[in-house]
Amino acid sequence: MIIDVHSHLVGGGSCNLLITSYDWRNSENVSGFFSIGAHPWFSSYAVQIDELAQLPNCLAIGETGLDRVQGLPFDTQLKSFEAQILLSERVKKPLIIHCVKAFDEVLRLKKKHEPTQPWIIHGFQKNASLAKQLIEAGCYLSIGIGIKRDKVREMVKTIPVERLFLETDDSNISITSVYVLMAEALNISLGNLESILSRNFEIAFKKDAYELVRENGITYKGIGN
């Protein structure tokens, strides 16, 4: 099962299960499986997110999060992020998190709220020490185009495979390429990687990825076969 857990390319990519990320301001024509949130660069929490979060094809909340480099004023980001943490808990769907130079605040809020829903740090390409802190706090780490970098390929070897997801975000790399590079970095077969990430999806999203694919009439062809 080829799963792209976070993409901004609507309908794009050669994968079996794609979760397209929408900011609520640009959500008039949501389609397929999606996540909905208020990105810290562009918008703050609004009730429209609550409405869309109830739809059955909405699989996650976000991306949301914190960014000390760009975006809305940091206090506004914090309020918006906390509102979406609470929404994630209400609708019982994972939270997909954007974080730039604010991991201390993310970890503080994780401890404060003690969420029952999984937190997925998207686009992670930092060091093994930070990865360890986030994993110990109960987070998942989603890796994308960063897997092309030598330092990231070394870092991912320190991450327990049961805490991994893969994504394309807004890059032009294919999810298949991300899978291939990750399998090489971990020295495992593509088929094994597919099975691991499908199991991670089932645990974090409380849904069987294979069943979702079958229900939507998608033919499954594993890249590891």
- pLDDT tens profile 103-140: 999 999 999 999 999 999 999 999 999 999 999 999 99
CB 60 within 8 A of CB 19: yes
Q: What is the pLDDT of residues 50-75, one digit of tens each?
A: 999 999 999 999 999 999 999 999 99
Say what the pLDDT of residue 224 is: 46
Say what the pLDDT of residue 212 is: 87
CATH number, domain 3-215: 3.20.20.140
The identity of residue 205, as a single letter, is F
- Strand residue runs (E) in the chain: 3-7, 17-23, 34-37, 58-67, 95-100, 119-121, 140-143, 164-166
**Cα gap 130→158, rounded to integer Å:** 11
Domain residues of the chain, as ranges?
3-215
The identity of residue 151, as a single letter, is K
CB 194 within 8 A of CB 1: yes
Q: What is the pLDDT of residues 146-186, one digit of tens each?
A: 999 999 999 999 999 999 999 999 998 999 999 999 999 99
* Residue-wise burial string across 201-213, b where 16 or more C-beta atoms lie within 10 A, e elsewhere: beebbeeebeebb
Position 225 confidence tier, pLDDT thresholds 50, 70, 90 = very low
Quote the pTM value.
0.94
Say what the pLDDT of residue 13 is: 54
